[in-house]
Amino acid sequence: MKPRAVVFDAYGTLFDVHSAVLRDGHGITGDLRALSELWRQRQLEYTWLRSLMERYEDFRVLTEAALRSAVGQLRLQVSEAQLGDLMRAYLFPSAFSDVKPGLESLKGIPLAILSNGTPEMLESAVRHNALESSFAEIISVDNVQIYKPSPRVYALGVETFRLRAAEMLFVSSNWWDVAGASSFGYMVCRCNRSDADIEFLTAAPDLTVARIDQITDLF
């Protein structure tokens, strides 16, 4: 069934979260890949923890807290100026090479982003990659003040487009996001760029692609 709208996750799906660290290194010495991966891991852990405690703080606050935690755990010598540079770089993540052609191939279908990011972070990322014309809506969890994979987040897509979840395609590269969207009732496509083998205990994706520009071939 051709979807009536497509909803995309942002970080890790459209935008490369590791580009903030790896693009130029910001003068930091040490294992930059380890820093980037631990930063991302801690960031996600903080969103889940805050959601379970029902003590919401926005994504930018948690992203900075996660960065400081990762730097401390890895015992890296990073100045306040370098921390500031990394946080600014997170506002301008690089889109994956398959994203722009993939979005263009879906022209005619309403597209949206549904993300943990703050509105300011998402608007900055979209603008930096010249994707403003691609999306009908950019939806932030700030609207409900809880993070994925809460059903309250996935309900935002339904409320925005006034469609049933099953009439829409939800696209994510994050396995936990795939599980959450599928459990809510979306038709779900996993973008598995790394060819990682994940066994879903429940709520497996309906479809899988290696690149965003392959989605149009599914319908």
Nearest Cα to Cα of residue 113 among 152, 164, 170: 170
- Annotated active-site residue 213? The verdict is no
CA distance 155 to 162: 10
CA distance 180 to 176: 6
Full DSSP string of 93-148: PEEPTTHHHHHHHTTTS-EEEEESS-HHHHHHHHHHTT-GGG-SEEEEGGGTT--T
Nearest Cα to Cα of residue 5 among 214, 180, 156: 156
Q: Is 217 exposed, middle or buried (0-12, 13-18, 19+ CB in 10 A)?
A: exposed
CA distance 84 to 66: 13
Q: Which of 9, 85, 142, 177 is catalytic?
A: 9
Active site residues per annotation: 9
